[in-house]
Amino acid sequence: MPATARQFEIIGAPFDGAATLGYPGSRYAPDRIRQQLGWITQRVEAGSVFSLETGELHDAPLIIDGGDADIVAHDVLTTLERTSARIARSVRSGNVPILLGGDDCFLYAGTKGLHDATDGTVGVIHFDAHLDVMDRNEQQGTHSQSSGMRRSLELDRARTEHSIQVGLRHFNFPSSRAYLESGGLARITAAEFDRSGTAAVVERILERTAGADHVHLSFDIDAIDPAHAPGAGALEPGGITSRQAIDTIMALAPHCDSFAVTEVNPMTDHQDMTATLAAYLCYYFAVFGQRHSDD
């Protein structure tokens, strides 16, 4: 018998209290992304949607809106704990959560939610211009937008050897290099992505995550070049293109158990360009992730 299509649950995280550096404003992103998703999903007819990418009719994905996580505006740690518990509840209900940030502290909440709701090992695919492996500093503490990957990989069953970062560029702290070298965390820079091409990058990512029982895919929108995504928490030129991002999500979706889009910033966006792109990433994830690769 064919596998049952997966159901996807939208969960908002309207919080940017951990964005102590960069532009605040990502707290407004969940509603703007939802609005743009509405424009996309109105094209569904009789349970199907026509993909111009494939030339085929696809079953419209089953997407429900679970509302927002119960965040606390002044309390990062409580917000992360409540959001990860909300993600875990979604997974235990048989859904595939799609988390709409908020700043990139939610990389950790997304990973923890999947980790806590499942048995076995967890790998993380992290798209970002930045490393997010800061341990702590005076300005940001320990659970800011700069520490999500490090905190994620400290979870009991999270596996560095099955995790990878994609879209990295420019400069970072020497202490972050020391962490990467000692831990063996794999990375693909934006320049490498461009030289290698999308197909080769997808192959490398899937080879890396193949040994994990579950995979969380987290996409900080600043992995994409600001020419394509001007509404981000930080603007780093030289990123991947919107085309590369969409094609990569299409290929990775069947292999992932949860998804997050973070750092979309309506306060700096231009005519909802970035919120629209984020909505498309979510919808491509749902359309092409309806059947898990293990089914």
Q: What are the tens digits of pLDDT across the range 98-119?
A: 999 999 999 999 999 999 999 9
Residue 75 pLDDT > 60: yes
With a CB cutoff of 8 Å and minimum separation 6, the contacts of 82 are 69, 70, 71, 72
Q: What is the mean pLDDT of residues 114-141?
A: 93
pLDDT at 3: 66
Delimit the domains of the chain by residue range: 7-288
Q: Which sign does the torsion angle of CA 274, 275, 280, 285 carry?
A: positive
DSSP string, 142-206: SSSTTSHHHHHHTSTTB-GGG-EEEEE-S---HHHHHHHHHHT-EEEEHHHHHHH-HHHHHHHHH
Helix (H, G, I), strand (E, B) or coil at 100: strand
Q: What is the pLDDT of residues 224-258, one digit of tens each?
A: 999 999 999 999 999 999 999 999 999 999 999 99
Q: Rounded to an integer, what distance in angstroms lies between the CA atom of residue 15 and that of residue 252?
A: 27
Burial tier of 173 (Cβ tally within 10 Å: 0-12, 13-18, 19+):
middle
Which percentage of the chain shows pLDDT scores above 90? 91
Provide the mean pLDDT of the chain. Answer: 95
Contact between 224 and 241 (Cβ < 8 Å): yes
Q: Which residues contact 195 (CB under 8 A, 6 or more apart)?
A: none
- Determine what percent of the chain is predicted with pLDDT higher than 70: 99
pLDDT at residue 137 in the model: 85
Q: If you average pLDDT over residues 39-57, what whole number do you get?
A: 97
Asked which of 117-131, 140-154, 213-227 is least confident by mean pLDDT, the reply is 140-154
pLDDT value, residue 142: 75
pLDDT of residue 1 exceeding 70 = no
pLDDT at position 144, please?
Answer: 82
Instruction: Tell me the C-alpha distance between 27 and 24, whole Å.
Output: 8
For range 173-186, the mean pLDDT? 94
* Region 131-136 average pLDDT: 93
Classify domain 7-288 by CATH number.
3.40.800.10
Rounded to whole angstroms, the Cα distance separating 125 from 55 reads 28
Average of per-residue pLDDT across 255-267: 98
